[in-house]
A = this chain, B = another copy of it.
Amino acid sequence: MTAGKETDLWYAVIDEERQDRTGRPEAVYCEGKTLEQAEAVICRMREKGIPVLATRACEALALRIRGRFPDAAYDSLSRLLSVGVFCPAEERRGLVAVLAAGTSDLPAAREAALTAEFYGSTVRLICDVGVAGIHRLFERLPEIRAARVVVAAAGMEGALASVTAGLVSAPVIALPVSTGYGAAFGGLSALLGMLTACAPGVSVVNIDNGFGAGYQASQINLLGEGRGVPK
């Protein structure tokens, strides 16, 4: 069979114009790619000068990439791997609050937080404020209300999203997490709960999609900053 393209990277097409169209470069989704494929895609992007954020990267890939690129950074909890810088730390703006209902929700919450930072937002990560001990949420309300956007990460019943949205004026991005067992059905219970939140001002991303939550939170945050204004 022919692949129709004379190139050494026949299985992938770098979307070089993504940043022009959407204001942010393409990220690399590593699951389902072989180590070789993921590595080749990252290298090609770096050759073209595109800063890379790779999601769901395993340790083995991180090792390879760090061997090649000294500026690569890997966070094993969230499995995020970055190479190069899209927005320097000192230019981050606005404020995104990322809430995690419990310690077990940290991997997804942290993915959201690091993603929002990568794309240029200042982030505050606020942990273990689930509704079983709701005073813990109230204690952090001033910090949360200071944010332009809130990400609420929770597993099990995911009630944190509804409760938070009833308390703040900022938009809430709900991030259902696969924490839990039995009728949690791998995050489905939290997902449905967040989609049917009784308080308005909530929209939802895929289960465990910390990247998507952080990406959109940053889009919204910087809109408020007067940056990231759409073309």
Q: Please list the residues of chain A having a beta carbon within 8 angstroms of any beta carbon in chain B.
A: 1-4, 10-13, 15, 17-18, 21-24, 26-27, 29, 31-33, 37, 41, 56, 98, 100-106, 113-114, 117, 122-136, 140, 143, 145-149, 154-159, 162-163, 165-171, 173, 176, 178-209, 211-213, 215-216, 219-220, 223-224, 226, 228-231
Contacts and interface: CB of A to CB of B under 8 A. Distances in A.
Contact of A1 (B33, B117, B129): B117
B196 A189 contact: yes
A134 B203 CA distance: 20
Contacts of A10: 127
Given A171-B223, A181-B208, 14 more contacts: A11-B128, A130-B198, A132-B165, A133-B166, A147-B230, A157-B159, A159-B162, A169-B231, A171-B220, A183-B207, A191-B195, A193-B193, A201-B215, A203-B212
Given A192-B189, A230-B147, A13 B133 contact: yes
A184 B204 CA distance: 14
Given A159-B193, A204-B204, A31 B224 contact: no
A3 B215 contact: no
Contacts of A101: 198
A219 B201 contact: yes
How many copies the complex holds: the figure is 8
Contact of A133 (B15, B31, B130, B146): B15
Given A203-B204, A212-B202, A157 B3 contact: no
14 contacts: A1-B125, A2-B124, A21-B167, A26-B133, A33-B104, A131-B159, A132-B198, A133-B166, A134-B163, A156-B196, A158-B193, A176-B182, A190-B196, A200-B216
B136 A22 contact: no
A189 B162 CA distance: 13
